[in-house]
Amino acid sequence: MTKRCPLGVLVSGNGSNLQAILDACEQKNFPAEVRIVISNKAEAYALERAHAKGIATAVVSHGEFPSRGAFEEKLISQLESSKVDFVVLAGFMRVLSTRFVRHFAGRILNIHPALLPAFPGTHAINQAWNYGVKVTGVTVHFVDEGTDTGPIVLQEAVALDEKESLESLEEKIHSVEHRLLPEAVRLFAEGRLRPEGRKVRIGDPS
């Protein structure tokens, strides 16, 4: 069996993107495995998804620490103790500091429900729908020290119908997310992502 690249997943909520990763990891020859799922919210349903698959979990509540630095040091400690090779943000609703990003430089992937650089930050689906765009989409990118500014790994466009509701757009976006994020995880685990400044080349498996 192919050696699997260990990853840690940070979550804050329902965890449907985590579920997509967990399901992908059950496929034969998928090159990654989830070692730990960490949430900043004890009530996050994503933790139940991890428990159901027998994956280790941890709750690191930002409200229990005197500073963001102390909070992130605990996150780093948990991830390092699980010996992960890279980190995936799957609906993790906290902005990570330079300290965290530099510790895992080039090893953090994030998924964003818009075609970056359009609509960065929170509530991107609502922003796109309210703006009246004809096309939006999903982006997976490396995390850098900005907000949704890292080099883009994968993108897929989503067209809006003339009578698109916010709810139907959300369903379309989530469907794409659940395909795109596991694909990006696979490419990273296979050593195929080659960042070159702003661009990310996809090469042959290393």
The domain segmentation of the chain, as residue ranges, is: 5-193
pLDDT (tens digit per residue) in 31-77: 999 999 999 999 999 999 999 999 999 999 988 999 999 999 999 99
For residue 136, list its beta bridge partners: 158
- Quote the pLDDT of residue 205: 76
Which distant-in-sequence residues (6+ apart) come within 8 Å of 98 by Cβ?
Answer: 145
Q: Would the pLDDT of 1 be above 50? A: no
Per residue, the 3-state secondary structure of 46-65, as one string, reads HHHHHHHCCCEEEECCHHHC
86-90, 94-98, 104-108, 128-132: least confident range: 94-98
Active site residues: 112
Domain 5-193 has CATH 3.40.50.170: yes
pLDDT (tens digit per residue) in 149-170: 999 999 999 999 999 999 999 9
pLDDT (tens digit per residue) in 163-196: 999 999 999 999 999 999 999 999 999 999 999 9
pLDDT (tens digit per residue) in 76-96: 999 999 999 999 999 999 889
Calculate the CA 198 to chain-centre distance.
19
DSSP category for residue 40: S
pLDDT (average), residues 107-121: 97
Q: Would the pLDDT of 98 be above 80? A: yes
Task: Say what the pTM is.
Answer: 0.94
Q: To the nearest whole percent, how much of the chain has pLDDT over 90?
A: 94
7 sits in which H/E element: strand 5-11
pLDDT tier at 204, thresholds 50, 70, 90: confident
